[in-house]
Amino acid sequence: MPEQLFQFLVTGITIGSLYALVGLGFALIYNASDVVNFAQGEFVMLGAMTAIALLNAGLPLLVAAVIATLLTVGVGLLLERFAIEPAAGASVVTTIIITIGAAIFLRGVALLLWGKDFHSLKPFSGDAPIQIGGATVLPQSLWVLGVTVVLVALVRAFFNRTLLGKALLACAFNRTAAQAVGINVKVMLRLAYGLSAGLGALAGILIAPITFSSYEAGVMLGLKGFSAAIVGGIGNPMGAVAGGVLLGVLEALGAGLVSSGYKDAIAFLFVLMVLFFEPTGLFGHKASERV
Amino acid sequence: MPSEISSAPAPPAAGGDRLLEVIGLSSQYGPVRAIHQIDLGVSAGELVAIVGGNGAGKTTLLHTLSGLQPASAGRISFDGQDITRWPPHRIVAAGICQVLEGRQVFAPLTVEDNLRLGGYRQRRDSAWLGQQQERVYTLFPILAERRRQLAGTLSGGQQQMLAIGRALLGRPRLLLLDEPSMGLAPLLVEEIFRVIVELNGRGVTILLVEQNARAALAIAGRGYILETGRIAKTAPAAELLADDDVRRAYLGY
């Protein structure tokens, strides 16, 4: 039984890492604009599908992954430039609805390009399982974990150590004041969309060898990533990471101990419970401001 | 460098070459006219006050100058350049730095990070930023003590000091101050105004917007009275303080 629990834990942390990356993307855009970008899941799908297509076209894996990520970043920037920026000044809700529209559009484009079939990427370093403490770990899981740790550390350093990162946060805290100190809010918004798209694409490429990918693959991943972000306290990047891992582990435990049919239900039930008892998320900023 | 708060005393406030020249400036929120046909000038080294009641358009005027609010008509020129349609970040880079009404510090960031963000446009000149930051800490020692504290946990007066310090790190050639006395205890108001005088003495050109007309006119060289979006009167501050209409309307005696 302990081995089995350990196995669930490993599975949970792997899938949770993905939720964390997607959640991080949500947090970035939310920080820059108070907007929840519901096309975040589509970035994941685009990263995976483009990488698969490029690989099938004969490119080596690493090159395909890099190009797929850059292309998805490009899509993120285009989305910002042609769907979000023209609506500058519109309410947050309007902008969120625009992102939902963009998500549907991107899904449609993917459907036209790649059809309804499921596609798979070959694992980065084979699929011979590794035994760790009684649990069977796929090499791809280690890739997921390793890359996630590196990306999270980079994003954390970006916000904690760089002026650019703080400028991005400043836009979230007080947009008028950010403009008044000379931060170009438009540039920050583009940066947020570009980074989110890149994180999403990488998540998609990492997970593609484990779960199959299709034009619709972004929908559920997007929802889970969004859940991770709100469980962690939306706008708190590291909270989104913790929320993602927590969600993944709970899901894996639920699937293993109860029934895999309830996997998604357990995750969303957890989100509801968190929102019920701790509406600002588990790691959300408690409002502490003197006026 | 006129922006350095430790620099030489201000050059004489003369007419002629205006640092800031505003001609016929109007701005509106939808159909509602907030300011109308404003003419205004500030010369290098001056401390100019704009006083007026609530809703007279004082904040709108400052926001239009700093690009936060679009102008619907008229022209703003700064140092000979037409900046009327410039975006805010370009205007800050040119040297117009604004201390917003109600402080508006970045509450979840530390005092030091707030100051560093104030220097966002000067970020490539780290030597100057380091010196200027030390000068701000000398000017407001309490900020140096609390440099690692979150800005949101500071008192109102300290937040006002931080807001001024943040603007000073933008290397202002013209400092716009919006209601720095708002919501502060009289002793703190005195302290803030003392600092404003000191900054001006060190060569920072200041445009001060205030509801507290008496305090503002007491330290300013010249003043403008703003009434329902128009300039009702302009004169040396001492004359405005002695003016019967102004006294009745804004000084309350």
Q: Is A182 within 8 Å of B93 when comparing Cβ atoms? A: yes
Report the pLDDT value the prediction gives residue A128, as an integer from 0 to 100. Answer: 87
Q: Looking at CA atoms only, how far is residue A273 from chain B in angstroms?
A: 27
Q: Which domains does chain B have, with CATH numbers?
A: 15-84+204-253 (3.40.50.300)
Q: What is the mean pLDDT of residues A113-129?
A: 88
Asked if A198 contacts A17 with a C-beta cutoff of 8 angstroms, the reply is no
Backbone angles phi and psi of A208, in degrees to 5: -55, -40
Nearest CB to B106; choose among A177, A285, A290:
A177
Query: Residue A142 is inside which H or E element, if any?
Result: helix A139-161
Interval B81-110: pLDDT, tens: 999 999 999 999 999 999 999 999 999 999
Interval A220-246: pLDDT, tens: 999 999 999 999 988 788 899 999 999
Nearest CB to B116; choose among A163, A179, A285:
A163
Going by pLDDT thresholds of 50, 70 and 90, the confidence category of residue B252 is confident
User: B83-87: which pairs have CB atoms within 8 A and are 24 or more residues apart?
Assistant: B87/A184
State how far the Cα of A222 lies from the Cα of B139, in Å rounded to an integer.
50
Report the pLDDT value the prediction gives residue B69, as an integer from 0 to 100. Answer: 94
Query: In this complex, is the C-beta atom of A112 within 8 Å of any C-beta atom belonging to chain B?
Result: no
Report the pLDDT value the prediction gives residue A288, as an integer from 0 to 100. Answer: 42
Report the pLDDT value the prediction gives residue B8, as an integer from 0 to 100. Answer: 41
Q: Kindly list the residues from chain A whose CB atom is less than 8 angstroms away from the CB atom of residue B153.
A: 288, 290
Q: Kindly report the average pLDDT of chain A as a whole number.
A: 90
Share of chain A above pLDDT 70, in %: 97
Q: What is the mean pLDDT of residues A149-177?
A: 93
Going by pLDDT thresholds of 50, 70 and 90, the confidence category of residue B5 is low
Nearest CB to A179; choose among B68, B106, B152:
B68
pLDDT of B20 over the 70 cut:
yes
Report the pLDDT value the prediction gives residue B16, as an integer from 0 to 100. Answer: 53
Backbone angles phi and psi of B28, in degrees to 5: -145, 150
Higher pLDDT, A289 or B151: B151
Both tokens of A81, joined, read: 């430039």
Backbone angles phi and psi of B48, in degrees to 5: -115, 135
B residues 43..102 contacting A (CB < 8 A): 66-68, 87-89, 92-93, 97-98, 100, 102
Q: Kindly list the residues from chain A whose CB atom is less than 8 angstroms away from the CB atom of residue B166.
A: 181
State how far the Cα of B77 lies from the Cα of B26, in Å rounded to an integer.
14
Least confident range of A266-270, B40-44, B64-68, B83-87: A266-270
Q: What is the 3-state secondary structure (H, E, C) of A237-255?
A: HHHHHHHHHHHHHHHHHHH
Closest residue, chain B, to A288 (C-alpha):
B152
CB atoms within 10 A of CB A88: 11
Report the pLDDT value the prediction gives residue B55, as an integer from 0 to 100. Answer: 85
Query: In this complex, is the C-beta atom of A289 within 8 Å of any C-beta atom belonging to chain B?
Result: yes
Report the pLDDT value the prediction gives residue A285, as an integer from 0 to 100. Answer: 58
Query: In this complex, is the C-beta atom of B159 within 8 Å of any C-beta atom belonging to chain A?
Result: yes
Amino acid making up residue B24:
G
Query: In this complex, is the C-beta atom of B117 within 8 Å of any C-beta atom belonging to chain A?
Result: yes
Q: Is B89 within 8 Å of A173 when comparing Cβ atoms? A: no
State how far the Cα of B172 lies from the Cα of B93, in Å rounded to an integer.
9
Both tokens of A105, joined, read: 């559009």
**Does domain A2-277 match CATH 1.10.3470?**
yes
Report the pLDDT value the prediction gives residue A161, as an integer from 0 to 100. Answer: 93
Backbone angles phi and psi of A59, in degrees to 5: -75, 150
Phi-psi group of A48: left, alpha or beta (phi > 0 → left; psi -120 to 50 → alpha; rest → beta): alpha
- Residue with token string 């991943």: A221
